[in-house]
Amino acid sequence: MDPLIITTTPNICWLAPEVPYPRTVEKIITEAELCERAGASILHTHAEGQWAEVIRGARRQTSLIVQCGMSSLPIPARMEVWTERADMISMIVSHHDEAFTGLDVHVLHPREELEEYMQLCKQYRVKPELEIWHGGSIWNMRYLIDKGLLPAPYFTTLFFGWPGGSWSPPTLEEYLYRRRLLPPGSVINVSIMGPEQKTILAAAILQGDHVRVGTEDYPYLTNGKVAAAHELVAEVVELAQHLGRAIATPAEARKIIGLEGRNE
């Protein structure tokens, strides 16, 4: 079993926006350093729109894989992620339909746009993180593979419990069902929004899959306390240790994901 890759998400909590999180470049990088020390190997960042500064700062001060999120944004608003050659970029393989606190998100992502994503990723050597919300996402993923646009290994994040029209139940049954649909060569990661999180995290750790935790996903420790992203990483490290799973270093994560060294 590969060591556990932990993705950290020190970003806005969509269900409880009052939860504090780092919003300046300096604070984002400081939190990234704390998350790396706690055991994370991937930084999933929104960068608060400061893509270049956060990518450069994370590279300068950490060994983390830099994964840039906000996949609801149109391609022109994210071009800096490619031109700055981030390690990874998030890419929803279906449509955004989410119902957050005070914010409804409705964004179509047609297959033509997905193809453009893949062409940009190839041009700039940025690996896509494929956001998999339901079975239709996997159909689109196979479409890209069949067209020769998506090379293996495929880094996928399965989303559970995120509210809105893209919702799927945060249950073991849904997790096991959806992972069975994924093609060979998939590296599977899970994101759960809600109190059911720890059950699916434990299942993913035991199945040999990987996990994503942080203020964006679910900002609460097992005891119900609101926590910073690095504290949430530390708690899942402890869980993995109890379950006998080693924790991946950023270098080990790069090898598992198929990143060819550091994108500079």
Per domain, the residue ranges of the chain are 6-257
Quickly state the pLDDT bin for 61 (edges 50, 70, 90). Answer: very high
pLDDT at position 260, please?
A: 72
pLDDT average, residue stretch 21-37: 98
Other Cβ atoms less than 10 A from the Cβ of 157: the count is 22
Q: Do 42 and 63 form a contact (C-beta atoms < 8 A)?
A: no
pLDDT at position 162, please?
A: 98
State the fold for domain 6-257. TIM Barrel (3.20.20)
Could you tell me the end-to-end alpha-carbon distance of the chain, in angstroms, rounded to an integer?
30
Q: Do 93 and 137 form a contact (C-beta atoms < 8 A)?
A: yes
Closest among 56, 27, 47 to 230, alpha carbons compared: 27
Q: What is the rounded distance in angstroms from the CA atom of residue 143 to the CA atom of residue 133?
A: 16
Q: What is the rounded distance in angstroms from the CA atom of residue 44 to the CA atom of residue 231?
A: 16
pLDDT average, residue stretch 6-29: 98
Q: What is the rounded distance in angstroms from the CA atom of residue 251 to the CA atom of residue 216?
A: 25
Q: Do 189 and 210 form a contact (C-beta atoms < 8 A)?
A: yes
**Is the per-residue pLDDT at 202 higher than 70?**
yes
Q: What is the rounded distance in angstroms from the CA atom of residue 228 to the CA atom of residue 123?
A: 36
pLDDT at position 263, please?
A: 54
Q: What percent of the chain has pLDDT over 90?
A: 98
Does the pTM surpass 0.95? The reply is yes
Closest among 29, 11, 154 to 71, alpha carbons compared: 11
Which tokens go with 64?
């983390």
Q: What is the rounded distance in angstroms from the CA atom of residue 119 to the CA atom of residue 21?
A: 33
Give the position of tokens 């960042």.
45
pLDDT average, residue stretch 50-72: 98
Which tokens go with 34?
């704390």
Quickly state the pLDDT bin for 264 (edges 50, 70, 90). Answer: low
**Is the per-residue pLDDT at 93 higher than 70?**
yes
Which tokens go with 203?
């299942």
For residue 129, list its beta bridge partners. Answer: 90, 155
Pairing of strands 154-160, 186-192: parallel
- What is the chain's mean pLDDT, rounded? 97
Helix or strand (DSSP H, E) at 58: helix 51-61
62-91 tens-digit pLDDT: 999 999 999 999 999 999 999 999 999 999
pLDDT average, residue stretch 220-241: 98
User: ω into residue 153 within 30 of 0, thus cis?
Assistant: yes
**119 CB-near residues (< 8 Å, 6+ apart):** 149
Q: What percent of the chain has pLDDT over 70?
A: 98
Q: Do 187 and 156 form a contact (C-beta atoms < 8 A)?
A: yes
pLDDT average, residue stretch 142-159: 98
